[in-house]
C-alpha cells in the first residue's frame, strides 16, 4: 500500500489529484482530505515532476496521525526530537502554515541530509535543523531555559530496524530501544513548558516500546499526565492501545502507537 500526503503549503489537494490522474495515476480518498492512497501508477510515485516541485511526499497514513494528534497551533514553538527524514516535521510545518518555529533534531548525519532535502523541496520556512544527539543537545536547551509549547517524540524503535536493515528483531534490540525511548521521553518532558503537550509515537508493535514506556514515565514523574486521544480516524485501522486513551494502528495499515502527555507543573 502506498500513500501520498499533499503539501498544502504549495498546492490544493484537488488540483494535484487531477494533475496526477491526467498522467494515469489512480488515487483513492483517505481519512485526510490532503492524503491519497495510490491504487495504480505507471511510474514510481517518488520521481515525478510534482514530487520534485514538493507538491507531495510518499508517506504511510499511520505516520500522519502523530502530527495531527499534536495539533500545533500557528506561531507555536515546537520541538521534533527525532526528526529525520522529516515526514512528520514537514507535516507539522504544513499544519502550522509555515508560521512559528520548529526545531528539528536528529542524531544521524546521513538522515539529516534527507530531512534538509525534504524541507527545501517542500518549501518549509519555519524549521531550524540541528544535527545533534538529543541527550546532549538538551543540556544547551535547559541551560538557556529554552522550553517548548509542543514536542513530537517519534522515537527510534525496532520497527525502524526492520525497515532499515531487513533483519530480525531480537529481545536485546527491543530492550535497548525501550531504554533509549524512556531516556528520550524523560528529556522531552523536561523540555516542555508548563501546560505543554508531548506526543510519543513509535512504529513498533512491541508493548515494551509503547505502553511500558508510558507506564514508566507516569510512575516515575508527578509533573506529567496522560491525555486521552479521541479515536475519530476513519478508513484506517485504529484501535485503543493497552493504556486507555492511547491509540494503536494495526495491520494492514503500518503499525503505530501514539500517546499524548501534558506537563502539569514545571
Ligand X SMILES: C[S@@+](CC[C@H](N)C(=O)[O-])C[C@H]1O[C@@H](n2cnc3c(N)ncnc32)[C@H](O)[C@@H]1O
Return the residue of 83, 93, 129, 249 that touches ligand X, per CB under 6 A: 83
Examine residue 72 and tell whether it contacts ligand X (CB under 6 A): no
- HSE-CB at 120 with a 13 A cutoff on CA atoms is 7
Indicate if 157 belongs to the active site: no
* 100 known ligand binder: no
- Closest contact distance (angstroms) between CB of 134 and ligand X is 4
Examine residue 255 and tell whether it contacts ligand X (CB under 6 A): no
- By beta-carbon proximity to ligand X, the closer residue of 6 and 25 is 6
- By beta-carbon proximity to ligand X, the closer residue of 16 and 83 is 83
User: Taking CB under 6 A as the criterion, which residues in 187-216 touch ligand X?
Assistant: none
Q: Among 209, 250, 210, 244, which residue's Cα sits nearest to residue 230?
A: 244
Which window, 70-78, 80-88, 208-216, 250-258, contacts ligand X (CB under 6 A)?
A: 80-88
User: Taking CB under 6 A as the criterion, which residues in 90-149 touch ligand X?
Assistant: 105-108, 111, 133-135
- By beta-carbon proximity to ligand X, the closer residue of 167 and 265 is 167
Examine residue 186 and tell whether it contacts ligand X (CB under 6 A): no
* 88 known ligand binder: yes
Other C-beta atoms lying within 10 Å of the C-beta of residue 128: 9
State the catalytic residues. 203
Interaction site with ligand X (CB under 6 A): 63, 82-88, 105-108, 111, 133-135, 154, 156, 160
Amino acid at each position: 500500500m502506498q500513500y501520498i500526503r499533499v503539501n498544502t503549503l504549495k498546492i490544493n489537494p484537488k488540483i494535484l489529484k487531477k494533475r496526477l490522474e491526467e498522467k494515469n495515476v489512480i488515487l483513492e480518498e483517505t481519512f485526510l482530505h490532503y492524503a491519497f492512497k495510490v491504487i495504480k501508477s505507471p511510474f514510481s510515485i517518488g520521481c515525478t515532476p510534482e514530487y520534485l516541485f514538493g507538491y507531495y511526499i510518499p508517506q504511510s497514513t499511520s505516520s500522519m496521525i502523530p502530527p495531527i494528534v499534536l495539533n500545533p497551533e500557528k506561531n507555536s514553538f515546537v520541538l521534533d526530537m527525532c526528526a529525520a527524514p522529516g515526514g512528520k516535521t514537514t507535516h507539522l510545518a504544513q499544519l502550522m502554515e509555515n508560521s512559528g518555529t520548529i526545531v528539528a533534531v536528529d542524531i544521524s548525519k546521513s538522515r539529516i541530509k534527507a530531512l534538509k532535502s525534504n524541507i527545501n523541496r517542500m518549501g518549509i520556512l519555519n524549521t531550524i535543523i540541528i544535527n545533534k544527539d538529543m541527550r546532549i543537545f538538551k543540556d544547551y536547551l535547559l541551560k538557556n531555559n529554552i522550553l517548548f509549547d509542543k514536542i513530537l517524540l517519534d522515537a527510534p524503535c525496532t520497527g525502524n530496524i526492520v525497515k532499515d536493515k531487513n533483519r530480525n528483531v531480537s529481545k536485546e534490540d527491543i530492550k535497548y530501544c525501550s531504554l533509549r525511548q524512556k531516556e528520550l521521553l524523560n528529556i522531552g518532558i523536561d523540555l516542555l513548558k508548563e501546560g505543554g503537550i508531548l506526543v510519543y509515537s513509535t512504529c513498533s508493535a512491541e508493548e515494551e516500546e509503547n505502553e511500558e514506556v508510558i507506564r514508566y514515565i507516569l510512575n516515575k514523574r508527578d509533573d506529567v499526565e496522560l491525555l486521552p486521544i479521541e479515536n475519530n480516524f476513519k478508513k484506517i485501522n485504529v484501535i485503543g492501545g493497552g493504556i486507555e486513551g492511547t491509540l494503536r494502528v494495526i495491520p494492514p495499515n503500518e503499525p503505530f502507537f501514539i500517546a499524548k502527555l501534558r506537563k502539569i507543573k514545571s
